[in-house]
Chain A
Amino acid sequence: MHFQQNTLPNGLTVLTEINPSVQSVAFGFFVKTGSRDETPGVSGVSHFLEHMVFKGSEKYSAETVNRFFDEIGAQYNAMTGEESTLYYATVLPEHFAAGFELFSSILFPSLRDDDFSTEKQVILEEIGMYDDQPSFVAYDHVMRQYFNRHPLGKPILGTRETVGALTAEQMRGYHRDNYLAGNITLVVAGKTSPEEVLELVNRHCEHWPAGTVVRDYPPFAPEKASIWLARENSQLEHVMQLAPAPDSKSRLRYAAELLTVLASDDGNSRLYWELIDPGHAESCDVSYNELDGLGTYMTYLGCEADETRANLERITKVYEQLRRDGVTSAEFEQARNKVATRIVIRGERPMGRLSSLGGNWLYRQEYRSIADDLAVLRALTVNDLNDLMEQFPLSQTVTVGVGPLASLD
Chain B
Amino acid sequence: MPSSTIETCTLSNGMTVLFEPMPDVESVAWTLMIPAGAVFERPDQSGTAAASADWLLRGAGPYGNRELSAAFDDWGSQRHETATPTHIVMQGAALGGHLDKILPLYGYTLREPLLHDDEFEAVMIGVEQNLLGLEDDPRQKLMTELVRASYTDPWGRPADGTLDNLMNIDSDDVRAFLGNGLNPSGAILGLAGNLEIAAARDLVESVFGSWTPAVPAVVWPKPSGSRSSVASVELETAQTQIGVSFPSVAYSDADYYAAWAIVDILSGGMSSRLFHEIRERRGLCYSVSASLHTAPGAGRVLCYAGTTAERAQETLDVLLAELRNVAAEIRPDELARTKARAKSALIMAQESTGSRAGSLARDWFHLGRVTTLEEVRQKVENLTVRDLAQYLERHPVDQFTILTMGPAPLLADV
Contact = CB atoms under 8 A, between A and B. Distances in A.
B95 interface: yes
Interface stretch (A8-16, A121-129, A211-219, A378-386): A121-129
Contacts of B307: 125, 128
Interface in B322-373: 333, 336-337, 340-345, 347-348, 350-354
Residue picked from A119, A125, A330, most chain B C-beta under 10 Å: A125
Contacts of B93: 341, 345
Interface stretch (A71-79, A165-173, A174-182, A201-209): A71-79
A121 B354 CA distance: 38
A70 B270 contact: yes
Interface in B127-159: 129-130, 132-133, 135-139
A62 B280 contact: yes
Contacts of B279: 122
Given A74-B344, A338-B78, A349-B351, A132 B129 contact: no
A350 B351 CA distance: 9
Interface in A55-112: 62-63, 66-67, 69-75, 90-92, 95
Interface in B61-107: 65-66, 69-70, 72-80, 93-95
B122 A21 contact: no
Contacts of B80: 266
Interface size class of B (residues with CB under 8 A): 35 or more
A283 interface: yes
Contacts of B79: 267
A129 B25 contact: no
Contacts of A124: 308
Contacts of A334: 70, 73-74, 76
Interface stretch (B9-17, B208-216, B220-228, B230-238): B230-238
Interface residues of A, number: 70
Interface stretch (A222-230, A232-240, A355-363): A232-240
A91 B337 CA distance: 14
A24 interface: yes
Interface string B277-314: 00111111111000000000000000000111001000
Given A268-B73, A304-B132, A344-B26, A66 B351 contact: no
B189 to A, nearest CB: 19
Contact of A348 (B132, B135, B353): B353
Given A129-B287, A268-B66, A304-B132, A69 B74 contact: no
B347 A23 contact: yes
B245 interface: no
Interface of A: 21-24, 54, 62-63, 66-67, 69-75, 90-92, 95, 118-126, 128-129, 131-135, 232-236, 238, 266-268, 273, 276-279, 281-283, 302-304, 330, 333-335, 337-338, 340-342, 344-345, 348-350
Given A279-B125, A341-B27, A348-B25, 11 more contacts: A21-B23, A73-B342, A118-B283, A236-B135, A238-B136, A282-B126, A341-B95, A342-B78, A345-B354, A348-B352, A348-B353
23 contacts: A24-B348, A63-B271, A66-B276, A67-B337, A70-B271, A71-B336, A71-B337, A92-B343, A120-B283, A121-B284, A122-B279, A125-B311, A128-B239, A132-B238, A133-B136, A233-B235, A236-B132, A267-B73, A268-B69, A278-B122, A279-B122, A335-B73, A340-B76
